[in-house]
């Protein structure tokens, strides 16, 4: 083939510009730490990347939801714990007052304490988490003790559910009605106990003990349920946490560059580029003209 100067120089320009293009591509990869910047750079990876991102986002969202659920469950647990100790104090006082050794003014002070404890239960029933009343079903913005029915606070019964994984919803609240509602209702055990203390009927007070035990049991059962819920949520936390790591790993292996490889490629390309420049300079220079005198 006949080769001319213009062919050589065109060839050289083309090769050098290709070489620049490769350098630019590698530089972009190093700067962005991504294998591709446009879907056409690697259509399959781009499409997979979009799906991976979506699932990563979802997993991250679920872990946010789970931490919200944990907040609820933990506050519920501690509120129920407080309620139980209040009830247990009530039981202690009841036992003390049932053996007939107390004077009437001592019974009055017991009565007073029980009244305070009842108020304490009402306060616990009004527990708020981030401004939300957690024992009031859907009516999270209403204070249960403000909505009195028959002279006692009433509690909502709806279940507030949180999605902790695709299609898996956990009810995060505990109905206040079956616990606080029952305990505080007008004419309920506590009211009767206070009435018995006033009337100094010891047998009657003893009768209340069994009822109090029943009531404490209800709270303990509810707390156990919350504990089970807590366990379930902990399991979900682990699972979602693993998923998150996994999703991040897939996403990263799909689109993040292998730094050592890219830097090595870049260095190789750089030396190729330098070589082609110097070869170009040597090839273009001499022609017959340089030797004709």
Partner 1 sequence: MVSTFMGLETSKRALSVAQSALYTTGHNVANANTPGYSRQRVNLSATESFPSPALNSPRIAGQLGTGVEAGSIQRIRDSFLDSQYRSQSSKVGYYSSLSESLTKMEEILNDPSESGLLNTMNNFWGSLEDLTTNTDNIGARAVVASSGQMVAETLNYYYNALTSVQEDLRYQIGVEQSGINTIISNIQSINEKISKVEPHGYVSNDLYDERDTLVDQLSQFMNVKVSTVFPEKYGIVDKAAAEGLYNIELIQEDGSSYMPPINLISVNHTGIVGVNNIEVQTDSATGAISGVKIGSTTLQDYKFAGALTGLIESAGYVEDGTVKGAYPDMLQKLNDMTEAVVKEFNYVHSQGFVVGEPPTNGGNFFEITAGKNAAQTIKVNADIIKDPSLIASGGKSNAAGDNENAHHLAAIKSKDFTQYESGNVPAGLNGTFDTYYAGVIGNLGVDSASVQKDHSNAQILATSVDKNRQSVSAVSLDEEMTDMVRYQQAYNAAARMVTLVDEMLDRIINGMGTGGR
Q: Looking only at residues 252 through 271 of this chain, which bind partner 1 when binding is defined by CB under 8 A?
A: 255
Should residue 10 be labelled a site residue for partner 1 when binding is judged by CB under 8 A? yes
**Residues comprising the chain, all counted:** 293
Per CB under 8 A, does 17 bind partner 1?
A: no
Q: Which is nearer to partner 1, 39 or 151 (CB)?
A: 39
Determine the Cα–Cα distance for residues 117 and 91; give it in Å rounded to an integer.
11
In angstroms, give the least distance from the CB of 259 to partner 1: 20
* Smallest separation (angstroms) from partner 1 to the CB of 292: 6
Q: Nearer Cβ to partner 1, position 77 or 202?
A: 77
What separation in angstroms does the CA of 293 have from each of 5, 250, 283, 287? Answer: 20, 69, 21, 13
- State which residue, 10 or 271, has the beta carbon closest to partner 1: 10
Distances (CA, A) of 17 to 30, 75, 283: 20, 66, 17
Considering only residues 219 to 248 of the shown chain, the ones binding partner 1 according to CB under 8 A are none
- The stretch near partner 1 (CB under 8 A) out of 100-108, 125-133, 207-215, 235-243 is 125-133
Closest CB to partner 1 among 58 and 78? Answer: 58
Binding test (CB under 8 A) with partner 1, winner from 69, 190, 197, 226: 69
Pick from 5, 27, 252, 268: which binds partner 1 (CB under 8 A)?
5
Sign of CA dihedral 141, 155, 233, 167: negative
The token pair that represents 267 in the structure block: 């260095």
Q: How far is CA 235 from the centre of its chain?
A: 12
How many binding residues for partner 1 (CB under 8 A)? 56
Of the candidates 24, 106, 130, 231, which one interacts with partner 1 according to CB under 8 A?
Answer: 130
Decide if residue 284 touches partner 1 (CB under 8 A): no
CA separation for the pair 87, 190 (Å, rounded): 10
Q: For residues 77 and 137, give the distance between their C-alpha atoms in angstroms, rounded to a whole number.
A: 16
Can you tell me the distance from the alpha carbon of 247 to that of 253, in angstroms, rounded to the nearest whole number? 10
Cβ atoms of residues 59 and 240 within 8 Å: yes
Q: Does 61 bind partner 1 (CB under 8 A)?
A: yes
Q: Which stretch binds partner 1 (CB under 8 A): 73-81, 91-99, 113-121, 166-174?
A: 166-174
Is residue 131 near partner 1 by the rule CB under 8 A?
yes
Contact (Cβ atoms closer than 8 angstroms) between residue 153 and residue 144: yes
DSSP 220-254: HHHHHHHHHHHHHHHHHHHHHHHHHHHHHHHHHHH
Residue of 154, 171, 153 whose CA lies nearest to 162 = 171
Nearer to partner 1, 49 or 196 (CB): 49
State the nearest-atom distance from the C-beta of 31 to partner 1, in Å: 15
Residues that bind partner 1 (CB under 8 A): 1-7, 10-11, 14, 38-44, 46-47, 49-51, 53-54, 57-58, 60-61, 64-65, 68-69, 130-132, 136-142, 156, 158, 160-163, 166, 169, 173, 255, 287-289, 292
């Amino acid at each position: 083939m006949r080769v001319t100067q213009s062919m050589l120089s065109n060839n050289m320009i083309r090769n050098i510009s290709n070489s620049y293009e490769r350098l630019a591509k590698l530089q972009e990869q190093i700067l962005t730490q991504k294998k591709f910047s446009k879907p056409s750079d690697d259509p399959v990876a781009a499409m997979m990347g979009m799906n991976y991102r979506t699932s990563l986002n979802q997993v991250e969202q679920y872990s946010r939801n789970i931490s919200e659920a944990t907040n609820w469950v933990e506050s519920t647990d501690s509120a129920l714990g407080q309620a139980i100790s209040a009830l247990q104090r009530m039981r202690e006082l009841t036992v003390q007052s049932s053996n007939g050794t107390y004077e009437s003014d001592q019974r009055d002070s017991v009565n007073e304490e029980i009244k305070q404890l009842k108020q304490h239960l009402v306060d616990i029933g009004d527990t708020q988490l981030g401004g939300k009343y957690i024992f009031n079903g859907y009516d999270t913005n209403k204070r249960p003790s403000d909505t009195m029915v028959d002279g006692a606070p009433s509690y909502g019964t709806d279940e507030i559910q949180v999605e902790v994984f695709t299609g898996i919803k956990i009810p995060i609240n505990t109905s206040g009605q079956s616990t606080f509602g029952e305990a505080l209702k007008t004419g309920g055990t506590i009211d009767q106990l206070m009435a018995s203390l006033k009337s100094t009927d010891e047998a009657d007070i003893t009768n209340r003990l069994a009822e109090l035990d029943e009531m404490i049991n209800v709270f303990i059962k509810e707390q156990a349920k919350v504990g089970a819920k807590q366990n379930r949520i902990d399991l979900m936390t682990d699972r979602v946490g693993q998923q998150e790591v996994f999703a991040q790993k897939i996403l990263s292996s799909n689109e993040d560059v292998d730094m050592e490889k890219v830097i090595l490629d870049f260095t190789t390309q750089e030396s190729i580029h330098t070589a082609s420049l110097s070869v170009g300079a040597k090839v273009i220079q001499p022609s017959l003209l340089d030797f004709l005198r």
